[in-house]
Structure 1
């Protein structure tokens, strides 16, 4: 290595000081300054990139500063707060380490499916017909993570990630951002502008990636697949959230009870049950709801819209689960079975209500008498007997009824319809219990018994008539004689005795 003239070093240091290079230049830069008249030697490019080619004999690379004397100065590394430092040229070992790190960073960058398809459509990234395309030289190295950048502005912006500084503040809210375009994108939230429109529907979005993600719903492509089941998802965070169900992890715990949840909004929704706050109010009535979809479902009742139709009959329903529950009536399937008897039910709450009959629990008590009931609507129906209100009126006469089924049963007397037919004879009846009472004629069953004489009857009205005969007389007479002794005459009264006259003497006597 040849000794450098002291005058060249002094000149170089003078221009370095004028340009703001406070650090001492490296020995390689001094050698370059001393041998500027000689043919330029090939320098080792940082990060394995080829140095840019000179277009003319008088044009220097854009990444170097040209000194007045023709000397070239290495690019300056911009530091935060105006601290500058001249970069050092890396040796081969450090360059290989930086290349590996940069390659890992590129591999870690997430690429959306849309970008992958764009790259595949272009035939790959970074290739042309002559081979790999030339890359921009990145001479600005970050001392924190050894990231390389093509300009000082990019490096300075990158350093803000390490310092945590966010110079761009929103004027409407407290949000702050590292980059200006992040602030501009955020400002669209306050203005309501959505510049990215879907070409297949009327949806609009604030950010482009939101539009790309939405486009997958039209194509049906779900790029994120679960490795433990066959489910696929449009978004990555949907896959991450679904994976918790396989692991059984519920990271969001309620602070007021032992409930845990997979998703944060499930926890936020559950917390409203402790506070009693119902943020969603109906605009047509006074009802309020914990969840938005409960309000949307309730609003259909005001509009009369029933979007869910049964395919086997004309019934329509406001909610989907009402339709699913109704469909069981056509199939005859009763999925809810009682564990204490053989009864089965279409709905779960019917089973829960039935279970109270085995336990003897009657949770609904009347406030005006001692009656208690298993079901709430039984209590509401019973309360009408105290108030005397009969809300169900017959449209063909003046009769009114406490219960709807009483009105329906009464309406059959006007139409003459008898829907309940006996399967052993031709008799038909208006009410079901009339049919059940009639069937005892065929079976001979007499389930009703008198408490005094132990006589059995097939009908309650006959038992009541018998009790009036049995208990209407004095107790002593009833005890001395059997209450049901044979009558001295048949159903028809005996003939009246003949009148007495001299022409008709009584039997055994002769006329005088």
Structure 2
């Protein structure tokens, strides 16, 4: 026989809500009066109900009487334990009636419903921005106050939210619990994984309102928008050069200082930028796990391999506005434009020769030294430039990936193929400005120009006689060698 439900005899005079027990109604009226008669003796915090004070006191005592039977984690409240067990059972009993999304807690569903209703009851008193939950408002308020209450115990760096601190701690532990199901790359946070997945899905949710171009990340869109504006509000105080972004200016300022705060723990070499140090660290690992299927050249980073693959592609999407010449990459186009502007900002400290690119000056510096830092691991031959070593290594592999479409002859590199094709076409693109004689190669034109300038750059170290060509000097030196043998 069922027991009849007790009648609700007690009614709140403010909101007309009814209760079965008088004590329940008395507790409820404190919602309207905001009366909090129960005070914590430790921190003086007030509470409207005695059981809330009892639960609060466990914070000071450290008591956690409720233990999870699966992972042994302890909790102060039974309700917290019940909510936690859903982590193991993956139970989500609360479902949104609008989008059918499921939640583990009723409170989370209540907050989520505001997404559909548009309700944002929590407003910032400074900028009037509104939020759907109180926690988001509290986090936002720290933007104005600058408060960062969560500190890393390893490096003392502070954060505005506990979630950001938790993600940061994985830098020290090197923990990356979130793995991409497509390429198995691991990430330290779900947000980073979510952004990475767009590489596989091709999703680009951010659209430029000016040109209609789409981007995977909001940061990419923000950077792109600045290309439509000619404004460069950030100026270098040293050389007066202007920049579109503060980050570009900060990087540029290191050119004027000798500060190199990032040091390699292996060879103690210092760098001005952290990304440069990270790239440098691969030198010590010597591991090159990314191989080009076209020329078998290996790379330490997948990004470097992707850039290299453009060499084998015929696409040239970047065009010079001055001479209409096409290029495969934007950096190559930028470097090319310096030919038209005449800008040569890199100068050799020995002979004062100027260059448009720093790498050209670095390569040039080896002319003044006998140093050959790049050595072949097979025949031990030394080279002044890394690229020359890479080209040399193909000699040992025997690979000739570039084929002439006319005679099917194979070549080790693309430049050899380009020169060879001129045998079939008869093209001689390099013309002497004095006698109008044409040449297939630029180097041949430069050698020919010495007949007009009378330049003799090669000098014998024995008799100091000068020669126009290196081959003539080599033949001449043999005469001295023959004279020594006779004597």
TM-score, with length taken from structure 2: 0.53
Please tell me whether the aligned partners of residues 364 and 373 of structure 1 are also in contact (alpha carbons under 8 angstroms).
yes
Q: CA deviation at 1:295?
A: 0.7
From 386, 389, 409, the equivalent of 1:442 is 386
Partner Cα separation in structure 2 for residue 306 and residue 347 of structure 1: 20
1:402 corresponds to 2:346:
no
Question: 2:130 — aligned with what?
Answer: 288
Q: CA deviation at 1:316?
A: 1.6
Post-superposition Cα deviations, 1:86-123, rounded to whole Å, max 9, x if no partner, equal xxxxxxxxxxxxxxxxxxxxxxxxxxxxxxxxxxxxxx
User: Equivalences for 1:6-405 in 2 at 5 Å?
Assistant: 162=4, 164-226=6-68, 230-242=72-84, 248-336=90-178, 345-357=187-199, 362-369=204-211, 372-405=214-247
Q: CA deviation at 1:274?
A: 2.0
User: Equivalences for 1:411-450 in 2 at 5 Å?
Assistant: 411-417=253-259, 441-444=385-388, 445=390
Structure 1 pair 295/434, CA: closer, same or farther in 2 (3 Å)? farther
Q: CA deviation at 1:221?
A: 3.3
Please tell me whether the aligned partners of residues 233 and 243 of structure 2 are also in contact (alpha carbons under 8 angstroms).
yes
Q: CA deviation at 1:302?
A: 0.7
Q: CA deviation at 1:268?
A: 0.8
From 438, 444, 449, the equivalent of 1:485 is 444
Partner Cα separation in structure 2 for residue 402 and residue 448 of structure 1: 39
**Higher relative contact order, chain-length normalized (CA < 8 Å, sep 6+):** 1
Structure 1 pair 375/203, CA: closer, same or farther in 2 (3 Å)? closer
Q: Which runs of 5+ in 2 are unaligned?
A: 277-356, 364-373, 375-383, 392-411, 421-427, 457-487
Question: 1:41 — aligned with what?
Answer: none
Structure 1 pair 210/473, CA: closer, same or farther in 2 (3 Å)? same
SS of 1:201 mapped into structure 2: coil
Q: CA deviation at 1:228?
A: 5.5
Partner Cα separation in structure 2 for residue 266 and residue 241 of structure 1: 11
Partner Cα separation in structure 1 for residue 437 and residue 183 of structure 2: 44
Which one has a bigger Cα radius of gyration? 1
Partner Cα separation in structure 2 for residue 168 and residue 420 of structure 1: 72
Structure 1 pair 354/404, CA: closer, same or farther in 2 (3 Å)? farther
Question: 2:454 — aligned with what?
Answer: 494
Question: Which moves more between the two structures, 442-451 or 302-311?
Answer: 442-451
Partner Cα separation in structure 2 for residue 315 and residue 491 of structure 1: 67
Question: Which moves more between the two structures, 162-171 or 289-298?
Answer: 162-171
Q: CA deviation at 1:171?
A: 1.9
Alignment RMSD, CA only? 4.7
Partner Cα separation in structure 1 for residue 178 and residue 85 of structure 2: 31
Q: CA deviation at 1:363?
A: 4.9
SS of 2:256 mapped into structure 1: helix
Question: Which moves more between the two structures, 174-183 or 306-315?
Answer: 174-183
Partner Cα separation in structure 2 for residue 396 and residue 290 of structure 1: 47
Post-superposition Cα deviations, 1:149-201, rounded to whole Å, max 9, x if no partner, equal xxxxxxxxxxxxx4743333322221234454554444333323222222222
TM-score, with length taken from structure 1: 0.51
